[in-house]
Amino acid sequence: MSRAIGIDLGTTNSCVATLVEGRPIIVPNSEGGRTTPSVVTFTADGQRLVGAAARRHVNHPAHTITSIKRFMGRQWDEVTEEMAMIPYQVERGADDDVRIAIAGRQYTPPEISAMILQQLKTDAEAFLGEPVSDAVITVPAYFNNAQREATQAAGKIAGLNVLRILNEPTAASLAYGLDQAQEQTVLVFDLGGGTFDVSILDLGQGLFEVKSTHGDNHLGGDNFDQAIVNWMLAEIHRAWGLNLTADQGQVSRLRLIAEAAKVALSSKPSTQITLPFPNEGKPCLLDLSREKLNALTVDLLARMDRPVQQALADAGLASSDIGHVVLVGGMTRMPAVADHLRHLIDKEPQDGIDPDEVVAIGAALQAGILAGAIKDILLLDVTPLSLGIETRGGIFTRLIARNTSVPTHKTHTFTTAEDGQTSMEFRILQGESEMAAFNKTLGSFRLDGITPARRGLMEVDVSFDIDANGILHIHAEDITTGNGRQIRIEGGAVLSEAEVTRMTEEAEVHAGDARRLHDLAEARNLAEILADEIERSLSVQRDRIEACHEAALEDQIRRLRDALKNDEASEIRTRIQGLTEAAQVLIKGAHGATRKTKSRENVP
Ligand code: AMP
């Protein structure tokens, strides 16, 4: 087996690690950097630069691609917020996907990510002196199918054999060897350049289970840098009367200076900033203290509270239940960030591995496990939202519940909703509402060639499989004919971590409405099936029952059909009861007329 590497493909920075004699090491890039900016730039003379070289290229912000991870596997109508944050141009692709437009050419996000991965691969090969082909690549725990698939595709384009797509918090815990210890609960606190994630994991004896994840997709080091830039712009205006707000090139330079000041203040109490322009031949200087930085960013620090509390609440835990805290992301080096977390969870964080290297180290260990160099670790992750399909009446029928450990496999039998139905349309959904309309559609497909028969008779087995990479495979098979269709969810499954939170919250808000609609849809389904079935039985058995019973049954059927004209579930249920009682004469007279009324879910 050739050498395998672990890659933390970050929003802002990426990092590579590998095992040397069984121990993980960071693989530096060609400039000696232990992390590589996830930046690609296309220069005016047609060159393509990746990493630190691209990051220094601040003069062409429109040709410099940053934060490509935010666009991975996402669709056009879901990236409005992201678009406002980037200086380069994105366009709508033919599949409603996002394309990056540079110098008259369009690139897909996986293509751009692949340029970063290719650079990491090349640099690793140069450092290690041997070819690298296999890799474990990490993604946030909340990444959905499309985002994971896009990451896998990026790996392939870069010429890598992707051994596994691994969750970042799982990798970080693995790096600390927390799987070896007694069973415990770990909180992984990840504040990177552009995103904030909190994950709670259950670990022990090689078992990894993500209990909950929360975060803020728009909170990271960039916000801290921006707070410093805003302060600098105001100071520059005040001291030298210059308004640089609209000067993109100057603002980009100030941003780099702001970041350097922020990093410096992690290890010293104050720093002097030299501005990128002189005034009357003298350098322009600004002093910034740690206290001042903390004051400028106090609202950003406060934004960390809710995701932490929400992750605890979702896992059903109190902060005192947390056994270990693991820090991930360069921003956790800022003393005020770590202090704020200590205030939230009264526990000293794990120490010893650089927070911006810990995920790559874990990925390298996982690569070692898969390559057989390390044994006996079983990895479990969970689905962030429930998965299922839409059934008759707009009901969401769950196949896989939220927080189920993956890999997982579930099969469910569905039946036809109409008489003579020859095809079934499956709409695959993700979300927590009982009604399909409140959930997110991931995709749909049709199974044709169903033998025409009475409603509820033809059965189709639908199985959902989530593989170890978290990718969803769906298989539907007509039980009678053996005719089947297999699909993978691609492209449509677009949920950011913020959306997972939003959808979960919305499902809670709409829970009352959804329950009412669900109750109504269920009553309607039952009523329609019951009325049809009894009418059918009645037409067959008319001669065998007394005229008064026949009249009573017809009356009950009419009342039930009338009730169906209104949206009153209780009224419909009363009428169902009335008809069921009247139909006793049929059940006595024949075999199982109403047997099918409590059928499996029907698919229109
Ligand atoms: P990551 O995405 O994990 O690489 O984190 C990158 C973010 O961490 C950037 O915003 C960096 O400016 C920030 N960062 C890196 N090192 C430090 C440090 N020593 N102090 C404060 N922030 C840092």
pLDDT, one tens digit per residue, over 384-413 is: 788 999 998 899 999 988 767 677 788 888
140 within ligand 1 shell (Cβ under 6 A): no
- Over 70: is that where the pLDDT of 184 sits? yes
Nearest alpha carbon, ligand 1 atom 1: 192
331, 224 Cβ separation under 8 angstroms:
yes
**Residue 374 pLDDT:** 60
Question: Predicted confidence band at 373 (pLDDT cuts at 50, 70, 90)?
Answer: low
Q: Which of 261-265, 346-350, 461-465, 551-555 has the highest mean pLDDT?
A: 261-265
Express as a percent the part of the chain with pLDDT over 70.
Answer: 92
**Residue 64 pLDDT:** 93
537 within ligand 1 shell (Cβ under 6 A): no
- Nearest CA among 111, 135, 115, 110 for reference residue 27: 135
Cα–Cα distances in angstroms (integers) from residue 212 to residues 108, 403, 503, in the given order: 31, 8, 15
The tokens describing 603, both together, are: 């698919």
Determine the distance separating the centroid of ligand 1 and the alpha carbon of 418, expressed in angstroms.
59
Determine the distance separating the centroid of ligand 1 and the alpha carbon of 221, expressed in angstroms.
6
Catalytic residue among 82, 97, 149, 168: 168
434, 395 Cβ separation under 8 angstroms:
yes
The tokens describing 317, both together, are: 């835990």
Catalytic residue among 69, 121, 211, 262: 69
More confident residue, 73 or 538: 73
Relative orientation angle of helices 511-541 and 547-563, to the nearest 10 degrees: 150
- Nearest CA among 380, 400, 379, 381 for reference residue 389: 400
Catalytic residue among 82, 123, 190, 381: 190
Question: Predicted confidence band at 37 (pLDDT cuts at 50, 70, 90)?
Answer: very high
Give the DSSP H/E element, type plus range, for residue 37.
strand 36-37
More confident residue, 402 or 170: 170
**Residue 172 pLDDT:** 94
- Over 60: is that where the pLDDT of 300 sits? yes
Instruction: Judge whether 543 counts as a catalytic residue.
Output: no
330 within ligand 1 shell (Cβ under 6 A): yes
Give the whole-angstrom CA distance, residue 367 versus residue 365.
5
pLDDT, tens only, 113-150? 999 999 999 999 999 999 999 999 999 988 888 899 99
Question: CA torsion 337→497→399→447, rounded to 10°?
Answer: -160
**Residue 382 pLDDT:** 63
- Over 90: is that where the pLDDT of 381 sits? no
From 11, 218, 263, 332, give the residue whose CB has the most ligand 1 atoms within 8 Å, as the site to mutate.
263
Give the whole-angstrom CA distance, residue 359 versus residue 175.
7
451, 497 Cβ separation under 8 angstroms:
no
Which numbered atom of ligand 1 lies nearest the CA of 337?
A: 21
**Residue 260 pLDDT:** 96
pLDDT, tens only, 435-450? 998 888 888 888 989 9
- Over 60: is that where the pLDDT of 101 sits? yes
Give the whole-angstrom CA distance, residue 277 versus residue 146.
45
Instruction: Judge whether 190 counts as a catalytic residue.
Output: yes
Tally of CA atoms within 13 A in the half-sphere of 144 that contains its CB: 29
Nearest alpha carbon, ligand 1 atom 14: 330
From 16, 255, 354, 356, give the residue whose CB has the most ligand 1 atoms within 8 Å, as the site to mutate.
356
**Residue 494 pLDDT:** 38
**Residue 593 pLDDT:** 37
pLDDT, tens only, 301-335? 999 999 999 999 999 999 999 999 999 999 999 99
Determine the distance separating the centroid of ligand 1 and the alpha carbon of 222, expressed in angstroms.
9
Question: Predicted confidence band at 588 (pLDDT cuts at 50, 70, 90)?
Answer: low
β-partners of residue 15 are 8
